Chain A
Amino acid sequence: EVQVVESGGELVQPGGSLRLSCKASGFSFSNHYMDWFRQAPGRGLEWVARILMKTDNYDRQHAAAVNGRFTISRDDSKNELYLQMTSLKIEDTAVYFCVRDGMAGGDLDYWGKGTLVTVSS
C-alpha cells in the first residue's frame, strides 16, 4: 500500500526554522518526482516545491513565495522527502502535504494527511 507520512510540524516563532520530513512506503520512491503543497487554515491549496529524480540530477523548484527561504530535498536511501524552512513568516502557517507524482502525466496521486506548521509569537 502506497503511503506518505509527514512529520515535523509545530509552533515556531516568526524568523524561526523548521524541517519537515515525509516518509514514503509501498512504492519505489527513487523513481518518482515528489512535491510539497500547503493549505492555510480555511484556504485553498498552494504548491510549494518539487524535486525530480537522480536521473534529473535532483532538479528542484520552489514557489516564488518561499524561494530563498525553503529548500526541498530527498534521501532515496531512506525513502524520505524533506522541506527545510527558514525565516518563517506568519503567512507560512498552514498544513503541509507531501505528495507523490504518479509519473503517468501530472497525476499527483498520493497525498499524506499533512503536518501543521504554526508561525506565531
Chain B
Amino acid sequence: ENVMTQSPLSLSVTPGEPASISCRSSQSVLYSDGRNYLNWYLQRPGQSPQLLIYLGSTRASGVPDRFSGSGSGTDFTLKISRVEAVDVGVYYCMQALHLPRTFGQGTKVELK
C-alpha cells in the first residue's frame, strides 16, 4: 500500500500569515496520463472532510484561491496564503491513484 506521510503534524498560525503542509507518498502518484492523483482535504471540527484540491493542484469548486497545491510524483505541498479563522481543522492528503486509497496522518492547524 502507498504510505502517505505528512509534516508537520500540527501547526499554529497567526491569522493573516501563510501556512504550508507537506505530503510525501511512498509510491509515485503520477499516472501515465500526466496527472498526479493527489487530493487535499480539510476536516473542520465536528464535520466531514471537505475536498480542497484534487489532481495535485486543481482547486475544488467553491474553494478560495488562498489555497494552492503543488508537487509531482511523490512530494506535494498545500499552501494557504493567508490563514483565516475558518481554516482551522485537520488537513489530510490522500492518494487517489492506487487502491487502497490512503491518507496522511493529518495536520492539525490552529490559530495563535
Using CB atoms and an 8 Å cutoff, list the residues of chain A in contact with chain B: 35, 37, 44-47, 50, 61, 63-64, 97, 102, 104-109, 111-114
**Quick one: which of B50, B61, B97, B106 contacts A44, CB cutoff 8 A?**
B106
* Interface flag for B96 (CB, 8 Å): yes
Known: A45-B106, A47-B99. 18 other contacts (CB 8 A): A35-B101, A44-B92, A44-B105, A44-B106, A45-B43, A46-B103, A47-B103, A50-B99, A97-B48, A106-B39, A106-B54, A107-B51, A108-B101, A109-B61, A111-B48, A111-B51, A112-B48, A113-B48
Chain B residue with minimal CB distance to A98? B48
Chain A residue with minimal CB distance to B53? A107
- Chain B 85-108 near chain A by CB (<8 Å), digits 1 or 0: 000000010101101111111100
Q: A105-B54, A107-B54 are in contact. Are A47 and B102 (CB under 8 A)?
A: yes
Q: Is the CB of B101 within 8 A of A111?
A: no
Q: Is the CB of A45 within 8 A of B49?
A: yes
Q: Is the CB of A45 within 8 A of B37?
A: no
| Cα distance, A103 to B92, chains bound together (Å) | 20
Chain A residue with minimal CB distance to B54? A107
Closest Cβ–Cβ distance, residue A77 to chain B (whole Å): 26
| Cα distance, A44 to B43, chains bound together (Å) | 10
Chain A residue with minimal CB distance to B105? A44
> Chain A contacts of B100 at CB under 8 A?
47, 63-64
> Chain A contacts of B105 at CB under 8 A?
44
> Chain B contacts of A104 at CB under 8 A?
54-55, 58
Q: Is the CB of B50 within 8 A of A111?
A: yes
Closest Cβ–Cβ distance, residue A15 to chain B (whole Å): 25
> Chain A contacts of B79 at CB under 8 A?
none
Name, among A61, A102, A105, A112, the residue most crowded by chain B CB atoms within 10 Å (CB to CB).
A105
**25 A/B residue pairs, CB under 8 Å, sorted by A:** A35-B101, A44-B106, A45-B41, A45-B49, A45-B103, A47-B101, A50-B99, A97-B49, A104-B54, A104-B55, A104-B58, A105-B55, A105-B58, A106-B37, A106-B54, A106-B97, A107-B54, A107-B60, A107-B96, A108-B96, A108-B101, A111-B49, A111-B51, A112-B48, A113-B48
